[in-house]
Amino acid sequence: MSLWMYILLFAAPFIGGITALQTGYKNEILLKTFLAFAGGYIFSITILNVLPEVFVQHNSYTSLLILAGFFFQIMIGSFSEGAEHGHLHTHKHNHNLALPLGLFLSLSIHAFTEGIPLGFISGINKILVFGIALHELPAAFALMSILQTEHINKKMVLVLLTVYALMSPAGALIGNTMRFQFSEIVFNNILAFVAGIFLYISTTILFENSENHLFSFRKLIAVLGGVLLAICMSFLM
């Protein structure tokens, strides 16, 4: 992986978190539009790039691992309350630190896991980096917005944001180290698992981001913009 990819993986969630700390949750329409764009992009790269890459080295466990990744993200979502795809469920005047701790840990595991394949694949890692960055930005925005409502020191919130922003780059770094120690089949299995995560994230964004299961014209344009970007990047990179 190139240095700029590590920088982007860190910068996207960090900027999202800082934006939340500076402005608060004031523009729901803009956030939902951005999420619709990200959802269209992530879903498209999963179909166009990730799944074909996974099934090139298909083995008997590939499909099961995709399912495992999908349901793993459902489990993570039970702790994060959907913050990984930009949902906010603030709990004002909460004195139980288990809630923010569980939220932070679940999102960190999610970010770390999806960063791992970036360290050992080369053909589509640029496309994946942009996809991860696109949804980590609103995820960090949601995380920091929620943590602001808790009784947590502001310096500690900044520390948590920095640690969280390091999770995806750390996963990619671990993946880069692992590629010299494990076979290609192991890496393909990890990518299949992450493909399941991407399917859950993208479809949840698309369906939960709609009202009465219908897209407004603005959201439809945003989704199509994400799809178009994914198609262009798939053929140009």
Beta carbons within 8 Å of 25's beta carbon, 6+ residues apart = 31, 88, 90, 145
pTM more than 0.85: no
Q: Do 143 and 84 touch, CB atoms closer than 8 A?
A: no
Total number of residues shown for the chain: 237
Give the per-residue pLDDT at 207: 78
pLDDT tens by residue, 214-233 = 567 888 899 999 999 999 98
Judged against a pLDDT cut of 60, whether residue 90 lies above it is answered with: no
- Number of Cβ within a 10 Å radius of residue 104: 21
pLDDT tens by residue, 42-78 = 999 999 999 998 988 777 788 999 999 999 988 887 7
Helix (H), strand (E) at residue 221: helix 217-236
CA atoms of 62 and 126, how far apart (whole Å): 23
In percent, how much of the chain has pLDDT > 70? 84
Closest CA to 117 of 212, 210, 164, 182: 182
pLDDT band at 112 (very low <50, low <70, confident <90, very high): very high
pLDDT tens by residue, 151-160 = 778 888 899 9
Closest CA to 188 of 48, 2, 17, 64: 64
88 φ/ψ angles, rounded to the nearest 5 degrees: -115, 130
pLDDT tens by residue, 153-190 = 888 889 999 999 999 999 999 988 887 787 778 888 88
Task: List the beta bridge partners of residue 7.
Answer: none
CA angle 146, 151, 152 (to 5 degrees): 80
